[in-house]
């Protein structure tokens, strides 16, 4: 019996996904769990795997936004009759590619000087609408200025980006988060001086890289053992406290917002293992090679805005989680230690939490526990 592959739902708020790449062509033989497509959601561009082996056929065009649960492809088993509609789909895709190819070729045939192209881009002008007066019909800067003068009312002075796809999903998700939770942010300063020194010693000794974020992940995972209420979610009037500590770490994508790969059972891993996992997940996130498993089932999120030079933020909780930790930039500052002014490496830790059911006291104690672990980093190596 043919096996239908549907658009997966990666979280409670996902309503649709966009097919950004087909990894298999119609008629290809695929194996079970072999990647067949890349879909883009608010969380990431992730690979969809074949649920079984057989002959693969697409049922959606590239770039199509597909509702959750809708069919995107079919796998036929050996000996099964493949309907002629599948071949019709192939012809439709070929025609669509031909149209797109023709459009690109027409765009390439437009001749314009580099300066004219630059000016046209600034003013959002379609060069195909401009008549070139230069040699061999080349569009010059004067042609662009003439076009601007004659079409001033029709030229947009601003770029318009539709709030669709992952942007709309992100907007809906963040609005839902702040509208349904009583979010409160508590901040503390943390001294990273000893942690930085320990990291240098370990790198020199082990000849291996170590991530400061790995120490933070480890500290959060250990603190969640002592304060499990921060590792919970509120649904239908009930508090669900998770017994596993899956830590999501926000990663910035160029022009595509943040994604949150998840390190499963983070408390069971050492600093070196966490560093390797973080490096791998960041690379795959930016190369659009994350799997669905990589971005689901998180129980707590960390967003390290300090990597972008930001000293302080008030992060929005990633639902259905109940808390998120923002980490600011580590900056050398003069501070008072034992009644003496000295230079230390200081950063802000910002904890946002759902104040509907998490009181200030356990939240502050949880934050202080993270601070204590980071300021005494040898305990994280022992753990």
Four-point Cα dihedral 144, 148, 150, 152, nearest 10: 170
Is residue 184 within 8 A of residue 360, CB to CB? The reply is yes
Q: What is residue 315's three-state secondary structure?
A: coil
Which residue in the block uniquely carries the two structure tokens 């949880």? 366
**CB-based burial label for 20 (10 Å; 0-12, 13-18, 19+):** middle
Strand partners, 139: 112
Residue 16: which residues within 8 A CB-CB, separation 6 or more?
7, 65, 66, 67, 68, 165, 169
CB 322 within 8 A of CB 78: no
Q: Considering only CA atoms, which of 73, 69, 58 is closest in space to residue 3?
A: 73
Spatial separation of the C-alpha atoms in residues 75 and 80, rounded to whole Å: 10
Strands (E), 183-321: 183-191, 232-235, 238-241, 247-249, 251-253, 257-259, 262-263, 290-291, 300-304
For residues 228 and 360, is the Cβ–Cβ distance under 8 A?
no
How far apart, in Å, are the Cα atoms of 230 and each of 131, 301, 364, 368?
64, 11, 11, 13
Cβ contacts of 314 within 8 Å, gap of 6 or more? 185, 326, 350, 352
323: which 2 tokens? 């808390």
Residues serving a catalytic function are 355, 359
Q: If you count them, how many residues does the chain have?
A: 383
| DSSP secondary structure letter of residue 373 | H
Which residues share a beta bridge with 323?
353
């Amino acid at each position: 019996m043919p096996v239908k592959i549907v658009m997966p739902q990666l979280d409670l708020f996902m309503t649709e996904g966009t097919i950004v790449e087909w990894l298999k062509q119609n008629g290809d033989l695929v194996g079970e769990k072999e990647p067949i497509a890349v879909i883009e959601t608010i969380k990431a561009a992730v690979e969809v795997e074949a649920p079984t082996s057989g002959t693969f056929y697409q049922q959606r065009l590239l770039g199509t936004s597909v509702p959750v649960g809708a069919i995107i492809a079919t796998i036929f088993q050996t000996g099964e009759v493949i309907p002629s509609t599948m071949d019709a789909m192939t012809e439709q895709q070929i025609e669509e590619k031909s149209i797109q190819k023709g459009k690109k070729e027409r765009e390439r045939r437009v001749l314009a000087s580099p300066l004219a192209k630059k000016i046209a881009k600034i003013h959002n002008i379609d060069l195909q609408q401009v008549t070139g007066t230069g040699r061999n019909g080349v569009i010059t800067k004067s042609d662009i200025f003439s076009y601007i003068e004659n079409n001033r009312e029709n030229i947009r002075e601003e770029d318009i980006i539709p709030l669709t796809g992952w942007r709309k999903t992100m907007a809906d998700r963040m609005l839902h988060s702040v509208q349904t939770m009583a979010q409160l942010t508590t901040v503390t300063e943390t001294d990273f001086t000893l942690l930085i020194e320990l990291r240098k010693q370990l790198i020199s000794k082990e000849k291996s890289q170590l991530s400061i974020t790995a120490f933070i992940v480890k500290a959060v995972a250990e603190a969640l053992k002592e304060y499990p209420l921060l590792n919970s979610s509120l649904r239908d009037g009930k508090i669900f406290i998770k017994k596993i500590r899956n830590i999501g770490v926000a990663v910035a994508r160029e022009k595509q917002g943040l994604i949150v790969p998840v390190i499963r059972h983070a408390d069971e891993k050492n600093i070196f293992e966490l560093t390797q996992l973080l490096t791998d997940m960041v690379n795959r996130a930016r190369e659009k090679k994350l799997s669905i498993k990589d971005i689901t089932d998180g129980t707590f999120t960390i967003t390290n805005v300090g990597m972008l030079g930001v000293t302080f933020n008030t992060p929005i909780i990633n639902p259905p989680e109940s808390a998120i930790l923002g980490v600011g930039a580590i900056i050398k500052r003069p501070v008072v230690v034992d009644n003496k002014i000295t230079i230390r490496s200081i950063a802000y830790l910002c904890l946002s939490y759902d104040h509907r059911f998490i009181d200030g006291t356990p939240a502050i104690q949880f934050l202080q526990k993270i601070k204590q672990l980071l300021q005494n980093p040898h305990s994280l190596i022992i753990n």
